[in-house]
Chains A and B, each alone.
Chain A
Amino acid sequence: MFGGLIDNYTQSILIFTGINIIAAYSFFAPFKTGQVSLGQAGFMAIGAYASAIMTQKMGLPFALALPIGGVAAGVIGVIVGFPALRIKGVYLLLLTLGLSEIIQVIILSWDYTGGAQGFRNIPFNRHTIGWCFGLIVVLMIFFARLERSSLGRAMDSIQQDETAAEAMGVDVVRTKLFAFGTGAAIAGLAGALFAHQTTYVDSTTFNILLSIEILTFVVVGGGSTCWGPAVGAFVLTLLPQLLRTFRDALELTPVSWTNFYPMNRIYDFLYDFLDFENAKRLIAFGVILIVMMIVRPDGLLTRDSMRWLSLARWSAKHA
């Protein structure tokens, strides 16, 4: 789609950012009703495998396999959602974690899709970036409209106080099931996009670390508005890349500026500091998470900051 505009490296970063944003929304849907899931990676795995079976084994086009992946994950999500209705908090967290681990074990022992060798030779989809950002736009519109709809308000009320919501006539069971199933389906779509981008998935691709990462996207971005998940996924995926860009920018400094004391020392220090190999980068990431939770526990974007943003826009218009 944007083939001529950007190079492959940038494109692949954008694609994985996009997939992460979609995955963040998959966590956000059940989260809106107070259900915290640590199993979104499991639903991504279902979507990835279901769609890859469709394209690789059945020869269906990707456009058809993508919704099939989403529906497969969504159906399983609703089936899982029923028992999950009864439990909350830490218990639900552990239940979803256990489910995604079970999905991993099933994948590992299922020879039809390669078992432990992994699912190879999934057809590559050249238009992933278009699909990704198309889907993100749809999701954003969906969640923005949901926020102002009666269903969205019902979800918010369940998150605040389930008993009170039920007493006010909210159909708690249906709303929670809808939220959980929608989340699973969105995760399935993200998984399908992922599988057809990397062309290879195995049982460890969608592990608990991925579920944790998805959770951090939403909490860091802010789970109280529909823009938070996108912001969180965007910032946390691109942050490491930005750190790399800073170093590249540093390299552009003319040598004549830095070949004398103390500038050379400062340059070397900055260069080493920004030379983020994986372990160092992840340490920085961990520090950011802790600081973030101390300073802004509600995430980057909260309802208040959204109100402030819209106020700023309003005052700019009427100045």
Chain B
Amino acid sequence: MFYQQLINGLMLGASYSLVAIGYTLIFGVLNLLYFSHGEVFMVGAFVGLFLVLYAGTNIYVALLGAMIVCAILGALAFFVAVRPVPKDRPLAPLISTIGLTIILQNLAIYVFGGQQFSFPETIHQALYHIGPITVSSVQLFILGVAITLMVALWLFIERTKLGRAMRAVAENHETAALLGVNVNRVVLITFIIGSGIAGVAGVLDGLKNSSVSPFMGLGAAVKGLIVMLLGGLGNVPGAMIAGLLLGTIEILSAAYIGTTERDFFSFLILILILLYRPTGLFGTRTAEQG
């Protein structure tokens, strides 16, 4: 029973991690809270749903399609709501991305209506029994895609020239620019990568819950923020581990304490981290800088 819940928690945590990676990447390079990320996630889920439902593609194409559309959406978001807004006022980009969040959510409601869509069964359903644990093929698929993406991203950040440029920009804009990094381009690429990953996370979430709705963005956004903080702002591997951790804690508290208390625990963790370890579990920044 315990191991079973542990596995369920990891599944939930995998999608938290993917959302939080985008947040933490964007926070890392721009030092701003980008609020529309949850809605990008929602758009990704809808793109995946429609590719599967109407274009009849398989799930891999749907994932790729959602990734591409969301990457474009992320670039658009950057050009529309982040870049033109003055940087010296910390609240201005927050409000403009809140504006974009409202636009995207209501556009989805306007186009699709306020109802839920059920996500079709695209993966062959099968159950695998490993000792006391039962794992479904969908769960394995979700976990596999999430982990592949995370490893790929980690390699990209650590091993490629562009990844190094991203880390340099996250460290300090001026210094990076002096060393010949095109800061604006790196920021744009960060938005593209973060949003693309959020799109994949959206499709995976649709698969997991077998439903998609225009309202799924806000919850993902809030959970993503908590995970970002738990892992340390701007810390990508931190966000990956913290997501899995939060998912596990939520599922375990829901299983052993109660479903109403599930959210209570995630927010309690948020507050405790903020008060006692504001750099996150693995982070490097301090609350004073935030």
Contacts and interface: CB of A to CB of B under 8 A. Distances in A.
B54 interface: no
Contact of A289 (B33, B102, B225): B102
Contacts of A307: none
A216 B91 CA distance: 10
B217 to A, nearest CB: 12
Contacts of B86: 297
Contacts of B92: 219, 293, 297
Interface string A280-292: 1011011111101
B102 A105 contact: no
Contacts of A220: 95
B106 interface: yes
Contacts of A223: 91
A253 to B, nearest CB: 27
B229 to A, nearest CB: 6
Contacts, number: 131
A286 B81 CA distance: 11
Contact of A87 (B264, B270, B278): B278
A98 B95 contact: no
A13 to B, nearest CB: 21
A73 interface: no
Interface residues of A, number: 44
A105 B264 contact: yes
B102 A285 contact: yes
Given A101-B263, A102-B264, A83 B275 contact: yes
Nearest to A290: B99
B285 to A, nearest CB: 10
B18 interface: no
Nearest to A162: B288
Given A287-B103, A289-B96, A290-B100, A36 B91 contact: yes
A317 interface: no
Given A87-B290, A90-B290, A102-B264, A289 B222 contact: no
Interface string A213-233: 001100110010000000000
Interface of B: 27, 33, 80-81, 84-86, 89-96, 98-103, 105-107, 109-110, 218, 222, 225-226, 229, 233, 260-261, 263-264, 267-268, 270-271, 274-275, 278, 287-288, 290
8 smallest A-B Cβ distances: which pairs?
A289-B99, A286-B103, A286-B102, A293-B96, A89-B290, A297-B92, A279-B110, A98-B270
